Amino acid sequence: MSKIKAGTKVPDFSLPMTGGGTWSLKDAAGRKLVIYFYPRDMTSGCTRESQDFRDLTPAFRKAGTDIVGISRDSITSHEKFAAREALPFPLLADTPGRRSANSSTSSRRKACTGENTWGWSAALFCWMAPGACSGSGAR
């Protein structure tokens, strides 16, 4: 999948979510949506980002906007992380073999323990219209 840019129609994807079941992009059609992608549960930066979204959830809800977090961690890991941080929104597991909208958009070369590897960097996508990305950002 190529980079997602504002105005790009995003293909539907479905992933397992915390609390059971499957979350699909098509189920959010017609709603405002923020999807944040993060590399790993329970790491300092990802925890802080998730806490910020948790703390801002009332303002997002007031604006009619849903929040979803996605990483490659397992549902078991997500359930522990969501419980520990009291996250009021679903976390989706983009485990190996699955493909979300972020599968190639936030991959980059990273130096890890002295070796160059491919890994995820954090990214944020916002949808204001059904199926079209209205903005994105990466850190």
Rounded-to-integer distance, Cα 93 and Cα 24, Å: 12
Q: Is 72 exposed, middle or buried (0-12, 13-18, 19+ CB in 10 A)?
A: buried
The C-alpha atoms of residue 53 and residue 126 are separated, in whole angstroms, by 13
Closest CA to 79 of 54, 33, 87: 87
Query: Is 46 tagged catalytic?
Result: yes
- Kind of pairing between the strands at 107-112 and 14-16: unpaired
Which listed residue (46, 112, 126, 133) is catalytic? 46
Catalytic amino acids? 46
